[in-house]
Structure 1
Amino acid sequence: MKNAKRKLLFAERMLHGDGRTPFNAVIPFRIKGNIAPENLEGALRKLQHKHPLLNAFVEKDAAAMPWFVLTDPASLEIPVHVIKRTSEEDWKTISEKQWAIPFDTATGPLVRVIWVKGEVYSELILVIHHCLCDGGSAMAILTALLELTDNPDAAFAVEEPIMDASDIIPQEILKSKRKRAKAKLIGGLASFVLWMIPLKKKLVERKRDYMIHWKVEKELSDPLIARCKAEGVTVNTALCTALLLAFKAVRKENFHNKVSCPVDIRRFAPGIKKDNIFAFGLMFVVSLGKMPGFFDCAREMQNAIDRKTASLNAYDTIMMMEASHPALNNFTRFLKYGKSGNDCMFSNLGRINIPHVYRSFTLDTLFSPSVIGPLGNTTTMVTSTYRGQMDFTFIASEGFIPYEEAQAIKNQMMAILTQQV
């Protein structure tokens, strides 16, 4: 794959931006035990052989279109920065700092590792430019990294990377004149509409970015899962309901009643393999209905989610977005300068099926990733479940939500969930 090129997909190009502004996904995890530095470095080299895009930098062509350029892993090593561990809270401070440290995408690589090294426990923090991967990709990278660090002799299959939208979309759909015309029409219409929308002249001052992290013990999560099943709603829907109710209680007149939820496109596009590295997602917005009780409200939301999920068409969406490249600057401008109509983005990675016990260490804790970027409202909640324990990371900026309000939202959300079990 050396010197192969791939044009950035629309979503990847939006996340890449100018290539200098940070838009970083931060994936922290805690291990108990010792790993040899040479094992970690060797694992990263093998990881680059497994996933060719981890050897990429970004190059713009004559039309200013960015391309991933895949190079030799030996010439583009993933850096490892070792920091002495002084407390269990170090990883939080370091994660927040990593949000603001940009990658030089013109030289690459688009990945780095921070090793917060202690005698018994250590945290390792994967930092990846968001244009390179989504949550599913990040978990695939983490799974392989742990396995290769533990066992340098482990065999691994080399990923067949996505090199074009045609690697995702079946040929019969891609060649459909009707679908191509529809995608081009929607893309052109989007460009016109975005150009016409009046926008603010000044960006919202983000001020301090911050993170609130907490875990939910099995004593709450197990009964919650059982109650959701009995009530006929998913845990994800119950969490969205509680999150919106918490925003409503705390934000009052600043409440928008809208949470955007990314959906893993792998569920709808079988051509995408589990280990494919890319950044593309589907999205829908959920809101509270008019039902008064918590689970009545959640069931109403569940019905809306089921309808929206049934109508999602991954292939049509990709074709439409790829036809919208001329609108990208207007779309980015709208996200930056448009009035925020969302309360929050809520991303649920679900159950993480990564082994717990390895030969020389155990994966003690997997923290939910955090991500922050320059495209408008930064308020995001990410949750995941590892070894039966739910984990939450709430990311925001003081310019959008004061820290005290975010703490109140977290407390209110957990009080609502506790009341249900």
Structure 2
Amino acid sequence: MRRRLSPYERVVWAAGERLPVNIAAVARVTGRTTAARVREAVAFARERHPLLGVRVADPGWWQARLTTVGTGDPPVRVVRATGNGGPGDWSRVVEEELQRPFDTSTGPLARFVLVDAGEAFDLVAVFHHLVADAVSAGVVVRDLLTRLAAAPVAGTDPVLAPPADQLVPGPRTRPADLLRTARALGGPVPVPRPRGGPLVFHPWTLDREETALLLKRCRSEGTTLQSALCAAFARAATPGRPARIAVAADLRRVLDPPPGEAVGLYAASFVISADGGDDLWTAAREARTDIHARLTPDALRPLVRVFRLTSAVPHRAIGALLRRGEERGPRFDVSVSNARLPIPEEYGPLRLYAVHGAAHTSLSGAPLVIVIGFGGRLFCSVTSTDGEASADLCRRATDLLLDGV
């Protein structure tokens, strides 16, 4: 594989030279495996999903390309579990790996850690955001576990991943897209957040009964889980004023042809103003209206298309500009991403019983919350550099949701 970086990919690559851009997925599995089998499964996944084995070559003003030439398979590190099956070992691994940058000039831009507990294991998959998003991480986890179970993977031919820019339909880029994108991304929040502390990763889970009650209440109130999450975190984060909530958007809904199960960067984000208000469900319905308006094709396309206007700007200048924007302060009070992974629980002798996501894409201190629906439960996590404040925020928001049902 060898192709030029698209404008969108080029901006993400430039950001990663100056800022953190790592994402991770944690697959918690009952059953036994070995490091050798995991390495073989990773090599298989790399053949099926070429972006797992790329580097950035010819990193000049115009010539930067993604290539698989000269890169090996993604590395697999092995950690022996010391705890009793709790989050201690794998949480520490997530914190370590999210803060370890990828060398884009040598690649590969993915790596894995096996936390071996004998009769169970945790598999931590870490990606440079340039090559994967949340849906991609779920596809990789599924393919790895299928291979570990010695089961055939449907459609074993390589799944090519064209850049999102190439699949965006509609008119060419217009200068007005710059203004629309600036509004969608928001500006610095009114109150600066503490920054500069160590990265903290905190996971928690809603059980099946809590999840079922919450989803039932969302349906009865005419709203969505994402909107309810935004309303709860708004009330918990900024009582007395509206909160700026960053919302992740899956671009696959507007790309033509749809990239399907391609592993790549097919996500963007926008910022909404959410008011927790006195009534959680009124606030959730208001957030739903705003989010749905932002998820229309006409609103999503400029989030990718606008980067075509940066083609004449050197990538170092883009990285410096993004770093200065980050230093001004966070663009949001809290980021809330919600994804449902429609992947199996059973893989022969292996059983996937939990999946947590994590991200480190900001130095601002603003908490990044990821909620994954899998197996009838909600698996949640937050990463931030503001110590235990984000964990307290998540406890308050979760209590608001559960009290509301």
TM-score (norm 2): 0.86
Q: Which runs of 5+ in 1 are unaligned?
A: 174-178
Q: 1:23 aligns with which of 14, 17, 21?
A: 21
Shift of 1:61: 4.0
Q: What's the counterpart of residue 299 of structure 1?
A: 285
Q: Specify the code of the residue in structure 2 equivalent to 1:156.
A: G
Q: Judging changes above 3 Å, is the alpha-carbon distance between structure 1 residues 97 and 192 closer, same or farther for their aligned structure 2 residues?
A: closer
Which of 186, 204, 207 is the aligned partner of 1:214?
204
Paired residue for 1:176? none
Residue-by-residue CA offset, 1:3-42 (whole Å, 9 max, x unaligned): x223144255335536486532121111111124433222
Shift of 1:318: 2.5
Change (3 A) 1:246 1:374: closer
Establish whether residue 78 from structure 1 lines up as the match of residue 77 from structure 2.
no
Q: How do 1:84-99 and structure 2 match up within 5 A?
A: 84-87=80-83, 88=86, 89-99=88-98
CA distance in 2, matches of 1:189, 1:330: 21
Q: Is residue 7 from structure 1 mapped to residue 28 from structure 2 by the alignment?
A: no
Of residues 289, 306, 310, the one that matches 2:296 is 310
Q: Deviations along 1:300-343, whole A, 9 cap, x unmatched?
A: 22222233333644444422222234383464134322232410
Q: Which has the larger radius of gyration?
A: 1
What amino acid sits opposite 2:52 in the alignment?
L
Q: Read off the aligned partner of 1:393 and give its amino acid letter.
A: S
Q: What percent of counterpart residues are identical?
A: 21
Secondary structure at 2:243 match in 1: coil
Deviations 1:232-260, CA, capped at 9 Å, x for gaps: 001111111011111124xx6xx661101
Matched, 1:413 2:384: no
Map 1:235-274 onto structure 2 (within 5 A): 235-249=225-239, 257-274=243-260
Say whether the 8 Å CA contact 1:12–1:132 is kept in structure 2: no
Shift of 1:54: 1.6
Pairwise CA RMSD: 3.0
Q: How is 1:381-392 mapped onto 2 (pairs within 5 angstroms)? A: 381-392=369-380
**Residue type of the partner of 1:226?**
K
Q: Which amino acid letter does the alignment assign opposite residue 309 of structure 2?
A: A
- Separation of aligned partners in 2, 1:318 and 1:329: 17
TM-score, normalised relative to structure 1: 0.83
User: Structure 2 vs 1, CA of residues 137 and 339 (structure 1 numbering), >3 Å: closer, same or farther?
Assistant: same
Q: Does 1:118 align with 2:102?
A: no
**Gapped regions of structure 2 (runs ≥ 5):** none
- Partner of residue 360, structure 1: 349
8 Å contact kept, 1:378–1:397: yes
Measured at CA, do residues 23 and 310 of structure 1 come closer, stay the same or move farther in structure 2, by a change above 3 Å?
closer
2: CA distance between counterparts of 1:417 and 1:290?
Answer: 12
Q: Contact 1:187/1:321 (CA < 8 Å) preserved in 2?
A: no
Distance 1:302 1:16, change over 3 A: same
3-state DSSP of counterpart to 1:245: helix
Q: Any idea what SS the aligned residue of 1:107 has?
A: coil
